[in-house]
Amino acid sequence: MMKAIIDGMIVLPDAIVGGHILLYEGDRITDIVPRKGFHLGQCTDLIDANGGFVVPGFINEHIHGCAGADTMDENEEALATIQSVLPKTGVTSFLPTTMTYDRPRIERALSRIRRAKKNHGARILGAHMEGPFISTAYKGAQKESNIAQADFSWIEPYEDVVKIITLAPETLKDKTFLKECANHDIIVSVGHSGATYEQVMDCMEKSSFYHITHMYNAMTPLHHRRPGIVGAALLDPKAHCELICDNLHVHPAAQKLVYRMKGRDGIILITDSLRACLLPDGESELGGQKVFVKNGEARLEDGTLAGSIAAMNQVVLNFLVNSGATLPEAVAMATVNPARDLGVYDRIGSLEKGKLADIAILDSEDFHVKQTLIGGELVYNEEQEQAQ
């Protein structure tokens, strides 16, 4: 039952290949072969990319919600909604991201994430805990009354679910929590933090790598006498920087600076999107707080930025335009890099023989998603959706 994607520009980690066909059978990629000389009659099904970019399915490691649903919603339908809608943005795998709530509610959210792994749609790889182990001074859109001291007993029952924890290293009493995370293959991500350059470097001294949660946002900035988290992130090769490239959270020039300093391998593109993503302007919600969405901006009542409403395909395009990166590099920042860090690059993250057929086909002009496959199954088709 061989199937094929034809007439597309196939984006590999280090190149763009034209004049080739991507073959897949069942849930796996079987080969990428030259179109010339290949008999299409060998295939039972053909997808015509019509000159679009054929890319690995995007992996979003930091997303709260979209389409009116949020990870913290107290029902099973919310995650199912997110999973069903994300393929429209080219996302085939993601980490539902929790907020700084009270312990019982966070634990209920982690339990729902565990159960939702079996759902149809975008694949859940685990959870990203954004708080509650953060700084009150840099809480951003997180609710201060729920901020807590780092305690691994919160995490231990969910070590199979939690993949990333955002925390403020300066709030840790010692390095025990960091050691526990390392022992359980949980990535520590520095964010919502007032840490100094020295505190970051000290805490992460023995880490093989660590993340920076939404680089530049909710953290100590770069100053010539106080380099802060931004300085540590730019200089330490072990720091992998999340970037929200909606052109609101991070200025295009600041995006280019990170690219110049970190290169392809040190950046992970994210959306940090809210339930308001893919919805019209109006009143929304995040972490139990009112959010007002207008002209592409989502803010709390006091004007604080409250996450983004950007979709991943737009984030990748924005970074490509702003940074000067090549297309394979920009795509790798939303596929290869998160897959490697999360330990799943042997299965997903690139278009290679033997890997899962998680594939998005993007329009070559504006990057809107035309079709998305997850494990070889066509789960989104723009033409079919428009016809409904």
Which active-site residues does the annotation give?
272
Nearest Cα to 66, choosing from 242, 313, 304, 249?
313
Token pair for 50: 């019509």
Nearest Cα to 35, choosing from 9, 60, 71, 73?
9
- 251 Cβ partners below 8 Å, 6+ apart? none
Angle between helices 77-85 and 103-116 (to 10 degrees): 50
Q: Which residue has the tokens 């159960």?
A: 115
C-alpha–C-alpha distance, residues 181 and 176, integer Å: 9
C-alpha–C-alpha distance, residues 3 and 368, integer Å: 23
Strands (E), 76-177: 91-98, 123-124, 127-130, 162-167
CB 303 within 8 A of CB 291: no
Q: For the chain, give the longest Cα–Cα distance.
A: 67
Nearest Cα to 169, choosing from 123, 125, 138?
138
C-alpha–C-alpha distance, residues 243 and 40, integer Å: 41
**φ and ψ at 172, to 5 degrees?**
-75, 140
* Pairing state between β 45-48 and 3-6: parallel
C-alpha–C-alpha distance, residues 329 and 53, integer Å: 14
Q: For residue 10, which amino acid is it?
A: I
Tell me how far the alpha carbon of residue 77 is from its chain's centroid: 21
Beta bridge pairs of residue 6: 48
C-alpha–C-alpha distance, residues 312 and 89, integer Å: 6
